[in-house]
Structures are given as C-alpha cells and as structure tokens.
C-alpha cells in the first residue's frame, strides 16, 4: 500500500499538461503515493458557480497533500458573464480557488525557491568592468505571508454606509469624501501579529537550517506605516530574541527590486507580506529562467499544496504534443517530497533537473528564447514530454 495520498488538481489550460509530467517524475524517483484527481478551475465555475467545489475541499481535508497545476481567473464582470445559463442570477461571486484554498486551510507559509541552474541560457548575467560577463550563483528563497495583506479579499466598489462611515472617520479620507460611491473602490490590507510571526520564524528557521547568514525583511514601512511597520517590528523582535546569530537586513520593496538587478546573489532568504512576496518571487524567477522554473509550496499546520507559479497559458493548451516547460511543476513535486521528509528523493529530483539543464541537449522553447507556438518543435525545441523524459533518464543514471 502506498505511503501517501496526493490530491492532484491540474486545473485549467496547461495545468493538465504539466501535473501528469510531475507525477511521472515522482514515480520514477520511487515516491510511493496514490494520486487522487480532484475538480478545480474555470469549467466548475461556469457549470456550478464554484471554482473550488466542496468535494475537492473534502479530499484535501482527508489526505493533507495536494499538487496543483494552474487556473484561469478573470475580472468580476467577465467571470459573471461566463456563468452557465442555469447558474446566472443566483448570486455567485468568483473567487480565485488557490486564494480560497490558502485561506480555507490557513496555508499561510508560502515558500518560493528561485535557483539558478548552471548552464541555463535564461540565467541572469552581469557585465564585468573588463568587458566580460559573469553569472552569479543565485539561490534565493522567498517566504511570502500567504493569507493576509491585500489578498485577504476584503474589498468593495461603492462601500456600504457602515464602511463609508468608518473611512470618513480617518482624517486622510477627507480627500475622497466627495467621491460618489460608484466611483470609489476600496481594498483592505490586513496584517496580524501572529501571522507575521509565523512567516518570519519560518524564514529564520530555513536560514538556520541551510546555513545562510541573513534574512531580509522586505516591506515599505516608511509609507505603509501600520501594516509594513508591524511586519518589520515583528522581524526585529524575532531576530533579537530567537535568532541573534543570523543577521536581519531591511529593504523597502522598491529598493529591493533594484538590488536584485544589481547583486541578486547576496540575498538567500527574503520574507515579505502577501503582495510584496508575490512581486519579489516573480522578479527573482525572471533572473533564474522565468516561471518555467519557479515552484511554490503553500504550507499550513495540517494541509500543504504545491504548485508551479505560472498561469494556465490557454493559448498553448491545445498544442499536441505540448510545448510548455514542465520543470516548475516537477520542482513543486520535489518540494512536496521534501515536505514529507523524503529528503534524498527530493535532492535527486533537483539534481536531475540541474544535470539536464547543464548538459543543454534538451531545451524547451522558453530555454531557446523562442516565441511559443506549434512550430517551435521544428526549430529544435523539446516537447513537454521530452523534457520530462530527459529528467527521468538522469534519475535512472543516478540510481
């Protein structure tokens, strides 16, 4: 009997292409699991008015581990327009299923590793003073608070009178006092001390485990004084009382993006609130190959869901054979394996990906800097299947 059960949620678009490839790699590395498919995504929104059906919630509640692909999300009016005829007028509101999943299971620790595999033609390079180039070793993990901040979902267009009254009580709101409600949209940024403590502690514990000398807190407390101020206050207190041997660096979000373009190798562990962490992880992913190499873990006390950070890319979903890079989802699978304590198998997957990238014989279209489309295979790009085959081949050679 398999030791684990993994709820698989391919979702929309290319999610249905990359999740099966990650499962092929997990099986090849000897990870013993049952894989239970679950419903999620746009078709369930259209047919049921719910992109994350209760039956999928029940499966995650039972089995605790999930491997997620990608979903299509659209603005409110577009989403309502695509509801099936039998679902219209019932008051359904579209919510991102991955955001809902994070909040439902309190998957508040988001871990996003961004690693530059040597030989990746998409890696960041830097011009040297003598006219040559160097390729710094980028190994950065972003710890993103995953359930609060601007993604908490508390927002209005045309706020109700009670909310409007509360806003009117703030002296800074006088500049908006005469704006008609229909022309006023409000989103609330919420940070709680407990959630801030949890994400900061996770970042410091990771730095200690990996032997990194510093954690960088990345916020904007000089402007967003209350919420970013609390994040930074918590980080300083935790560093002082629990991890004095590890340095705490503090950078504003805008300055941090500049430093990442200048010397990204200096930052091994970054911790941030929800939106800032999202921005940072995508920015760093762009330095190490793009979203085709960017994996993510959403971790709570009981449930953990792992995913690539890319979207559903519907324009590629119909291509046969598929052309998208499966590496991000394969690395998400490696994160899942490491999460349950099978460190050796996780390392084998990371090493196999690194070997394939370094050899350079098998490259998906993004690694060849080609514009995606059906003709890229004729130009020498590997298909999704061929990239996975190469990684599995390296796993076979290493055992």
CATH topology of domain 1-113+296-399: Isopropylmalate Dehydrogenase (3.40.718)
Q: pTM (2 decimals)?
A: 0.93
Residue 321, preceding peptide bond in cis (omega within 30° of 0): yes
**Cα–Cα nearest to 206, from 353, 335, 355:** 335
Cα–Cα distance measured from residue 74 to residue 68, given in angstroms and rounded to the nearest whole number: 19
Q: What's the chain's Rg over C-alpha atoms?
A: 22
SS3 of 297, please? strand
Residue 390 reports pLDDT greater than 60: yes
Tokens 């730095």 found at? 207
Tell me what pLDDT residue 2 has: 67
CB atoms within 10 A of CB 321: 12
What average pLDDT score do residues 361-384 get?
96
CA-to-CA separations, 233 to 19, 270, 296, in angstroms, rounded: 40, 15, 26
Residue 257 reports pLDDT greater than 70: yes
The 10s digit of each residue's pLDDT in 8-17 is 999 999 999 9
DSSP characters over 90-111: S------HHHHHHHHTT--EEE
E strand spans, 125-168 = 126-127, 133-134, 139-145, 155-157
Residue 156 reports pLDDT greater than 70: yes
Tokens 């706020």 found at? 159
DSSP characters over 252-288: EHHHHHHHHHH-GGG-SEEEE-HHHHHHHHHHHHTTB
Cα–Cα distance measured from residue 389 to residue 252, given in angstroms and rounded to the nearest whole number: 42
Residues facing 34 on adjacent strands: 5
* 124-151+189-287 has the same fold as 1-113+296-399: yes
Residue 229 reports pLDDT greater than 90: yes
**How are beta strands 4-11 and 33-37 bridged, if at all?**
parallel
Averaged pLDDT score across all residues of the chain: 95
CATH number of 124-151+189-287: 3.40.718.10
Tell me what pLDDT residue 95 has: 86
Q: Where are the domains of the chain?
A: 1-113+296-399, 124-151+189-287, 154-187
């Amino acid at each position: 009997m398999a030791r684990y059960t993994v709820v698989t949620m391919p979702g929309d678009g290319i999610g249905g292409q990359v999740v099966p490839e990650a499962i092929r790699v997990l099986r090849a590395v000897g990870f013993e699991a049952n894989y239970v498919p679950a419903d999620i995504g746009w078709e369930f929104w259209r047919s049921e008015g719910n992109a994350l059906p209760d039956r999928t919630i029940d499966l995650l509640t039972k089995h605790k581990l999930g491997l997620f692909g990608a979903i299509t999300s659209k603005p409110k009016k577009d989403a309502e327009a695509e509801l099936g005829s039998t679902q219209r007028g019932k008051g359904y509101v579209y919510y991102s299923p991955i955001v809902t999943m994070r909040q439902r299971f309190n998957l508040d620790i988001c871990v996003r590793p961004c690693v530059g595999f040597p030989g990746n033609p998409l890696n960041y390079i830097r011009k040297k003073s003598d006219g040559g180039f160097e390729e710094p070793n980028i190994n950065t993990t972003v710890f993103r608070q995953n359930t609060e901040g601007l993604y908490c979902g508390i927002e209005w267009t045309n706020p109700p009178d009670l909310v409007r009254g509360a806003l009117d009580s703030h002296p800074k709101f006088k500049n908006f006092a005469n704006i008609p409600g229909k022309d006023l949209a409000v989103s609330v940024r919420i940070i709680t001390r407990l959630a801030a403590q949890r994400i900061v502690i996770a970042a410091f514990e990771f730095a200690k485990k990996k032997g990194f000398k510093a954690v960088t807190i990345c916020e904007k407390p000089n402007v967003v004084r209350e919420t970013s101020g609390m994040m930074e206050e918590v980080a300083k207190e935790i560093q002082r009382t629990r991890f004095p041997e590890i340095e705490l660096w503090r950078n504003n979000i805008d300055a941090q993006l500049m430093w990442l373009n200048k010397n990204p190798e200096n930052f091994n562990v970054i911790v941030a609130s929800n939106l800032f962490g999202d921005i940072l992880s995508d920015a760093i992913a762009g330095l190490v190959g793009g979203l085709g190499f960017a994996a993510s873990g959403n971790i709570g006390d009981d449930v953990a869901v792992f995913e690539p950070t890319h979207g559903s890319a519907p324009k590629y979903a119909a291509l046969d054979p598929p052309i998208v890079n499966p590496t991000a989802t394969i690395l998400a699978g490696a994160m899942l394996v490491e999460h349950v304590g099978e460190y050796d198998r996780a390392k084998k997957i990371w090493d196999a990906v690194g070997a394939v990238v370094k050899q350079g014989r098998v490259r998906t279209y993004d690694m060849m800097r080609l514009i995606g489309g059906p003709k890229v295979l004729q130009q020498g790009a590997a298909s999704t299947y061929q990239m996975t085959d190469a990684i599995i081949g390296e796993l076979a050679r290493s055992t």
